[in-house]
Amino acid sequence: MENVTEKKEINGGVLVPIITPVDENENVDEKAFRAVIRHCIDAGVDGIFAGGSAGMGPLLADDQWKRAMEIARDEVAEQAGLAGGVIATSTRRALEKIDILSRLDFPSMVVTPTYYIALTTEKEMLSHFSACREATDMQMITYNIPGCVQSTVPVSVIEYMAEKGWTNLIKESSGDRDYFLKVLDVCRRHSIGLMQGNEPDIEWGLKAGAAGIVPVCANYEPEAFVAAVEAAKQGDSQQLSETQEHISAVREVLLLGEEKNWIAGIMYGLSTLGTGIGRPVRPIQELTKDQKAPIDQLKSTSTVF
């Protein structure tokens, strides 16, 4: 594959954190996985992010994570940007994932701080990100998701990485608007992009100057998120506002509101569209009959953009 990194580096737009459908044995359901990737690419998204939180990257068995990356690389090919999740409990484990992605010729990787033992100092953060940067020439997208890794990438660390040219795109999913604006200031000064990863703030983030969005519900209805980004590009505030309202309503049902079983919710939602069996990897629990009912109804009322 020739010059993949240059051709398909991700710079903004809609980057879908793709789910990873699995079968009864918690092995990747290849047919369903290819179908959801195709569903998103056909809708016009700009990139696919495989093996992230929504994709259960840290939950999959090692062989299944690798298989998911192989399938994603093959299915996406050069039709859209493609990034693999580097989410691990230690730097060495992260480097093992980077090696696999490099061998598969992935153009981009999305790197979080390590988790389980949360990082607490700038030195720890820089040690981890610098090792990941040195390991490959893939585009490194820096991912701030404190809700999952229990640490926030300090703005000063993002500034340092931007100055050194380690990263040219940040995915920000904290939901902290003050933090987002501080990172946005860094990104503007260093001409790098900032992606809004918090769906309730898509409209706000795009109006503030985000380069794009990373929405989990785009697995279910990618057209709505493509429409949101297009409305922002066109300066159509009314359309953007209406699209955000629709997105928020779908999200409330699909991700189960305050019940927090969001991975199972999005996976079941895709199953109602004929993709996969809707069952997550343990210990995440499959939805109950009562939890499934509103999502079943959503299928018949959802708007196609």
Confidence of residue 302 (pLDDT cuts 50, 70, 90): low
The length of the chain is 305
Per-residue pLDDT at 260: 80
H-helix or E-strand spanning residue 62: helix 62-76
Token pair belonging to 297: 């109804």
Q: Does residue 217 contact residue 202 with C-beta atoms inside 8 Å?
A: no
Per-residue pLDDT at 3: 39
Residue 297 CB neighbour total at 10 angstroms: 12
In order, the DSSP letters of 221-258 are -HHHHHHHHHHHHHT-HHHHHHHHHHHHHHHHHHTTGG
- The pLDDT tens digits of the residues spanning 167-181 come to 999 999 999 999 999
Per-residue pLDDT at 5: 37
Q: Does residue 22 contact residue 29 with C-beta atoms inside 8 Å?
A: yes
Per-residue pLDDT at 300: 54
Per-residue pLDDT at 304: 53
- The pLDDT tens digits of the residues spanning 89-138 come to 999 999 999 999 999 999 999 999 999 999 999 999 999 999 999 999 99
* Amino acid letter for position 199: E
User: Which whole number is the average pLDDT over 252-263?
Assistant: 89
Residue 2 CB neighbour total at 10 angstroms: 7
For residue 20, count CB atoms less than 10 angstroms from its CB and return exposed for 0-12, middle for 13-18, buried for 19 or more.
buried
Confidence (pTM): 0.95
- The pLDDT tens digits of the residues spanning 212-227 come to 999 999 999 999 999 9
Identify which of 222, 265, 268, 203 has the alpha carbon closest to the alpha carbon of residue 17: 222
Residue 43 CB neighbour total at 10 angstroms: 19
Q: Whole-angstrom Cα distance, residue 278 to residue 262? A: 12
3-state helix, strand, coil in the chain (%, to 5): 50, 10, 35
Q: pLDDT over 90 for what percent of the chain?
A: 93
Per-residue pLDDT at 81: 98
Per-residue pLDDT at 194: 98
pLDDT of 6 higher than 50: no
- The pLDDT tens digits of the residues spanning 225-253 come to 999 999 999 999 999 999 999 999 999 99
